[in-house]
Structures are given as structure tokens and as C-alpha cells.
Amino acid sequence: MGRQARWWDGKANERYWLESTDREDLGSDLRAPLADEAGRDNWRYTLFREASVGDLVFHYDKRHSAITAVSRVAGPAAGAPIIWVARGSYARERRATPTEVPGYRVPLTDYRLLEQPLSLDALRTARPLIQSIIDTLAASKRSPLYFPFELSKRPVRPLQGYAFKLPADFVAAFSPLHAGAGIKIEEPDMPSQLDDVALFRAAVAAIEDAVPAYAVADVQRFRARAKGLQRVAKSLFRREAKADEWTFHRGGREELQFNLGLDYRRDGRRVFRAGIAFSFETSRSFPDIEILIPKVARFNAWMREHPETLSDLTMWHWEGNERSIDYSPGPIPANLIHNNTFVFVGGQQAVSAIDPHVALRTLDRLFDLYKWVEGGAAANPDSVTNIASAQIDLLHLDSGREIDGGRWIAATIRERTLDIYLRHAEMQLRLKAELLSEGCKEVIFEAPIGQRAVDVVARHADGLWFYEVKTCASVRGCLREAIGQLLEYALWPGATRPKRIIVVGQPSLDANAVAYLKALNKSFPVPIDYRQLTLDC
């Protein structure tokens, strides 16, 4: 019997495949058995034997629920025994173990990480776009499609299997993929440019659905308490937004607003924004921007007091139809406070790969600033300090956040070396893994304590330990930057006192640092220690 006709037969541009796996050696080769557990030929294993030299293989890493890398096929498939263990539910029931079986290998070359992973959450947000691509493909009436993701009543999810085919339109629709494939998208009718508004609406809906798991779920309750409102809005954002390209939180017109929108960079690229903003644009329902002036003063006071807190985010503004360059967050200058100006602080994502959880983590980080601005305190730096001091009382372990490890996976060696925020996040992730393996009962990232947050809090058998992560090049620098923070967290009157405070850094302890810690521990009521954690770039 000859090979079954495929939907991509005779189409030279259909040269994309997807490996779905949890392998640690991504990009070394493709390998799979010649038969499934029942001894039958199964395309979910054997499909890669049809790949041609020069085709591109994207790698879906199950460990991170994202397409993270791409490789090129370097040669034809060749039979070879392989070590294999099935991963499906049937295999789990049989408690399958790795076994040598008849198989095949396809050599790969040119392995590289994508500049930005394409996460499963981003794919779920883009479901309408994916559905349109699959519907068009299905109209060719050649099946099966060998597509790797399930589109059903449930959220988009990977199908069980190892070997899949990716349509060229799918690759073109997502900027992380077509950038990884080296495709230059010019045609105006490509799927990635078909309907940004639909993608934006889907993203807002996905963000709203995920809000209950984040701190910003309390925004409307906070507004009701702070402003004496009788009713609490049921949703965070205005789903009936008057524009198709932006929205802000309910009640936010006269406030520092949580803002989502489609934006343009100065180079013409369109991006999705998520953050906070002041809109100084008057309207019939908002005739005067003067109500925002005291709030801008509070915003500026907070930014002066906490200049490092948001330094990894981006700030920009629009004056009329002119967009500024991106710059580091800071106080808003007086010359921008006039009608027809929009000032924004937050993050950006590719429109074709919006991850709602990335957006919500950004909003969560900005919630303290929002509460300070809208809480009504006097606007001067001393007041900021006093408010912050008054709030440093109890540690809120239930308000910690998760750290996204996807950027480290996708980063270049240069980025891993130079980006201190990337290194800091990866150190937090690795520290958590080490602490859990050592028997800690619970590990929390960024546990709020007043206006700041402890990098890592671990629940050991004897109580809570506070960890402050530093990326300085010397152990002395790490100790200098961390100890003041840790002592404030631990010893300020009314604070939650830990059993131990630990500075975490990459350099190793030297004799002087050991002597310094020994001297400190003679004087302080809470033991201070240092833990080395190295990153291999």
C-alpha cells in the first residue's frame, strides 16, 4: 500500500513540523518508535519520517507549556534502536518504563531559541485566529490534518503525541514563529494582520477570566472602600469599551487607570500594552483634567521614593498623534500634563502572541502604586515614606506571585549575562527548586510587606526564613545591598519576624565576608547568613 495523500503535498511552502516533548536535549535529533504500544503504525510517532532536508521543526517544550525553539532537518530519517517510554494515559496505567525499541532518528541542525516563546496561554488567547486557519485547511477535504493542538469546547491544549505538522499560515500568524523561521511578513492579508481587534478582544476576555487568581481581583473592592461606593463592580475592565483598541478598569476615567490596549511603536510595529495610565484627554463626561493633578503628584512622589521598583517596565506617552520613544519609568514632567496627552507605564507583547498571565503579573506589580495614588494620602516624599513605614507590619504570604521562567529559556547568552532582571528572576526560580528539594514546606515569591516585597519566603520546619536575591558581581556588594532590606523586613516594629534572613548571590564567600557575617551575628537578634547560587549561562 502506498503512502496516504497529505494536505501539504505539492506545496513547497508547507515545510514546518512540531515536536511535542519534555526532552532535555531539544534540537539534537527527532527520534520515535516505529510502532505504538499496541504494535501498530501510529502517525503521532512516525510522521517525522516524511520530513525533508531543510524543513523546520519547532519544539513544544511540555516542561514550560510553550513553543520555545526551532531546528532545521539535516538529513533523512534512518532506522535505529532507541530508548523510549510512552507518556499517554494507557502507558501510565501500565507504569511504562524506558525500553529499547525499534525506531528511527532524524538528524537536526541550527537549533536556536525563539526570541520570545509562544506560550500555551497565548495560543488560547488567539483561538479565533487558529480556528480560522484550521477551518480553511479543513476545507481542502484532505484529512487528517496532523495539527498538534486540540480545538474543542475546552481551552486550547496540546494533543497527546510526539510528531505533528504545522501549517505555514499558522507559522506566519505568530511573530515568535515567523521570526524564528526567518520569514519576512509583507503581505497585508496574512493571518497575523487579519484582525488585531479580534485578538485584542479575545485577550481582554482571557485576562478578565484569569483575574480572580491575581491581586488585582481586589481593585474594585479597594475602590469601593476608598471612595465609599455603595456597589462593587463585578468585573475589572469595561467590556463594553467605546473603542476597539483599548479599555480601562471600570470607574477609571478619573483615576490612574489600569489600561489594556493596542499601541504602535515608533518603528511602526503594533504591540499589546498592559499597565497603568493617566489619560489627559477631555470629553463631554470628563471636561477638566484638574481632578487628576493631585493624583499625578502622588504618582510622582511614589516614583521618586521607589525608583528601582519598576525599572524593568517601560514608560511612554502620546501627545496628540505623536508617540514618544520608550523610556524608564519615573515622575511625569509638568509639560506633559495638558489636554490630549496619554502617559503609560507597563509592559508590551506581540499582538499575535498575547499571554494574559504576563499581562496580569504586570498589573499586580502596579497595584501598590495604584492604591497609593488613589488612597488619598498627602503627596510628598515624606508622606510616602511614612505610609510605607506604617504598612510594614505583617507579611502577606497569600499575596505572593509566580515568576515567569520563559524569558530565561528564550534569552541569548548576552541577555543572560547583561539583563540583571532576567538573572534575578532565574535565581528566584532556582532557589525555590532547591529549597523544595531540601524539604521546605512552602516557598513564596515576592511576599508583600508594606510597600515592598521579600524576594523569597520559605517555610522551614522551625518557621519562616527570608531570602533576598542580589546579582552583584562581588559578595560584598550582595551583602551591602541586601542586609539593610532584610533587617527592615525583620526588625521594624510590628513586622513579622523570621527565624533567619539569608542573602543570596552568585559570588562565593571569601574570608572577609565570613568574618563580616560572624561579627553581624554577634549583634543582631535574627541570624544572618549567605547562600551562593550560580547561574550557568
pLDDT of 30 strictly over 60? yes
pLDDT of 488 strictly over 70? yes
The parent domain of residue 25 ranges over 16-193
Residues 385 and 425 in one domain: no
Q: What pLDDT is recorded for position 242?
A: 42
Residues 224 and 359 in one domain: yes
In-domain check, residue 73 = yes
pLDDT tens, residue by residue, 205-240: 889 888 888 899 999 999 998 888 888 888 898 755
Choose among 489, 446, 376: nearest CA to 215: 446
Residues 432 and 384 in one domain: no
Residues 235 and 301 in one domain: yes
Q: Which of 135, 158, 193 is the last residue of a domain?
A: 193
Domain CATH code at residue 462: 3.40.1350
In-domain check, residue 2 = no
Residues 351 and 411 in one domain: no
pLDDT band at 392 (very low <50, low <70, confident <90, very high): very low
Q: What pLDDT is recorded for position 192?
A: 44
- Give the burial class of 141: count Cβ atoms within 10 A of its Cβ; 0-12 exposed, 13-18 middle, 19 or more buried: exposed
More confident: 2 or 525: 525
Q: What pLDDT is recorded for position 435?
A: 94
In-domain check, residue 293 = yes
Residues 186 and 281 in one domain: no
Query: Of 33-42, 181-190, 356-365, 472-481, which one has max mean pLDDT?
Result: 356-365
pLDDT band at 186 (very low <50, low <70, confident <90, very high): very low
> How many other β-carbons are positioned within 10 Å of the β-carbon of residue 223?
21
Domain CATH code at residue 104: 3.10.590
Query: Of 120-129, 150-159, 373-382, which one has max mean pLDDT?
Result: 150-159
Choose among 266, 260, 228: nearest CA to 247: 260
Number of domains forming the structure of the chain: 3
Helices first, then strands: H and E counts in the chain: 16, 20
User: What DSSP character marks residue 466?
Assistant: E
pLDDT of 37 strictly over 80? no
pLDDT band at 265 (very low <50, low <70, confident <90, very high): confident
Beta strands 16-21 and 163-166 are antiparallel
CA distance 54 to 71: 9
pLDDT of 23 strictly over 90? no
pLDDT tens, residue by residue, 427-449: 888 999 999 999 998 998 888 77
In-domain check, residue 6 = no
Task: HSE, CB side, 13 Å, CA atoms: give it for residue 113.
Answer: 15
Q: What pLDDT is recorded for position 90?
A: 45
CA distance 118 to 479: 37
CA distance 177 to 26: 17
The pTM of the full predicted model, rounded to 2 decimals, is: 0.47
Task: Return the residue matching grid coordinates 483598541.
Answer: 245
CA distance 491 to 488: 5
| Cβ pair 357, 117 in contact under 8 A | no
